[in-house]
Amino acid sequence: MSSDSELASEVAVLQFTNILSLVIVTAVAYDYIITLPKEMHYIWNRPWTFVSAMFFIVRYVGLAVALIEGLYGSTFIPGPTQVSTVLLLASVFAFILFLAAADLMMILRVYAMYRKSRIVLGLLLVLYAATVVLYFISAVHYNNLDNLSMTTPQVLDMSFCNPTYNNTSSKIGDYKLIPRLTLAALLLTLVVARLCIDSFQTYRMTKQWKTNEYISLLAREGILYFFAHLFNNIDFGQTMTGNIITTITFIVFFILSPRFIMSIRELHDYRVNVPVQYDGIDTGFGISKGQSSSMVTASSVGFARTFVTPEGDIEMQVVEGNISSKF
Distance linking the first and last C-alpha atoms of the chain: 71
Nearest residue to 63 via CA among 249, 230, 250, 248 = 250
Q: What is the predicted pLDDT for the residue at 273?
A: 65
Pairwise pLDDT comparison (115 vs 283), residue with the higher score = 115
DSSP for residue 231: H
Mean pLDDT over 316-322 rounds to 47
Amino acid symbol at 185? A
Residues in the chain: 327
Mean pLDDT over 160-187 rounds to 82
Q: What is the predicted pLDDT for the residue at 30?
A: 93
Determine how many CB atoms are found less than 10 A away from the CB of residue 298: 18
Mean pLDDT over 96-113 rounds to 90
**pLDDT over threshold 80, residue 285:** no
The pLDDT tens digits for 116-157 are: 889 999 999 999 999 999 999 988 888 887 888 888 888 777
* CA dist., res. 314 & res. 327, Å (int): 22
From residue 183, give the alpha-carbon distance in Å to each of 57, 143, 190, 320. 20, 25, 11, 24
Average pLDDT across the chain, whole number: 77
The pLDDT tens digits for 223-282 are: 888 888 788 777 776 677 777 888 888 888 888 889 988 988 888 777 766 554 433 322
Q: pTM of the full predicted structure? A: 0.80
Mean pLDDT over 312-325 rounds to 45
Pairwise pLDDT comparison (250 vs 296), residue with the higher score = 250
* CA dist., res. 222 & res. 208, Å (int): 24
Q: What is the predicted pLDDT for the residue at 304?
A: 32
Least confident of 66-75, 86-95, 134-143, 158-167: 158-167
